[in-house]
Amino acid sequence: MRAAEVREGIAAVLAEHKPQHLVHVGAHEGEEVPGYLAAGIERITLVEPLPQLADKLRRRWPDLRVVQVACSDHEGVATVRVPQKTNLTGFDTPDGIPVAVPIRRLDVIAPDADAAVIDVQGHELTVLSAAPWESLRVVVVETCTVDDPAIAPLHEAVVDFMAERGFAPVAEFARPYDFIQRWAYGRRTSTGGEVRDVVFVRA
């Protein structure tokens, strides 16, 4: 699937479940926001650690809440890395430019969120370990079928993690792993496998 098709698919599933407050961790340039708005989501919180991207989000959507931090299971300051080819941000990004950013827990940023989208280049499970589980009903997580901590956690590990918290997958949207490597980091691989955005709902 192309990225636009993935975004459309996720927005369609979200529209079915009608969340009231969605938090997107790793909002990047806000490519998914039009879909969220079309889905009728009333409150949207965008979490993005890079100052230039957070400023861009604020300019484009002044009515939305933008929080300029990275998420983890604790609070403080940490160094993320930004690859030269793209402005993706991750703790384990290879060959990236180091940038110091503040860190906050997701359950502190959005304690009443009933939907969350987590796309943080391999740090997804750490972010989710400090999520507001009492309020969440729908969670979208990027996963990978290839063991690559700079892209996303293993698909099976995320499914098991979510099942332990009472969530089951209802939709998956896949893109080729090799394409993502080439697009994000300029690396040509022939590994096979997929990067999958998985939508989970509370069972």
Residue 161: CB atoms within 10 Å: 17
Spatial contact of 173 and 14, defined as CB atoms under 8 Å apart? no
Q: What pLDDT score was predicted for residue 99?
A: 83
Q: What is the mean pLDDT of residues 44-67?
A: 96
Q: Which residues of 119-158 are buried (b: 16+ CB within 10 A; e: fewer)?
A: bbbbbbbbbbebbbeebbbbbbbbbbbbebbbbbbbbeeb
Q: Which domains does the chain have, with CATH numbers?
A: 3-202 (3.40.50.150)
**Angle ∠(35,181,178) on CA atoms, nearest 5:** 95
pTM, entire model: 0.90
Mean pLDDT of the region 60-75 = 96
